[in-house]
Amino acid sequence: MRRTLYAIAALALITSAACNKKDEDINNVPDKGAIRFINASTVDRYNIYLDDYLFGNLFADDTAFFPDIVIGAHRVKAEQIDVFGTPILRQQVVTVQKDSVATFIFP
């Protein structure tokens, strides 16, 4: 009889723990904003980076918009490509705020 009670108690404990677990806690979704990269050059193409991750390249007089960026400080970088000699490199830290757009203009 004692073993049966222990088994029932253990089963109840496991069942109650499993029922309280949520697949996704809506309250823990991070706040997000966006970053816009603006290539102000009239002739040069640039590789664009966000937190040291290459997002692609951007042609002269073009922009790129990246939504759903977690709020906080992010390092952005633009590196000139297709150039002879030393490429122009521009980098800075931008702060993304909730429901807003941070802008990074280069060169």
Q: What is the CATH number of the domain that holds 78?
A: 2.60.40.1120
Provide mean pLDDT across the span 33-39. Answer: 97
Q: Is residue 41 part of a domain?
A: yes
What local confidence, expressed as pLDDT, does residue 55 receive?
92
Compute how many other C-beta atoms are within 10 angstroms of the C-beta atom of residue 46: 27
β-partners of residue 37 are 64, 104
Domain range for 98:
29-106
Task: Check whether 34 has a pLDDT greater than 60.
Answer: yes
90 found inside a domain? yes
User: Is the residue at 57 inside a domain?
Assistant: yes
Can you give the pTM of this predicted structure?
A: 0.72
Question: What are the tens digits of pLDDT across the range 41-98?
Answer: 999 999 999 999 999 999 999 999 999 999 999 999 999 998 888 999 999 999 999 9
Contact of 80 with 43, CB cutoff 8 Å: no
Which of 96, 1, 6 lies closest to 51 in space, CA to CA? 96
Question: Which comes out higher in pLDDT, residue 82 or 100?
Answer: 100
Total domain count for the chain? 1
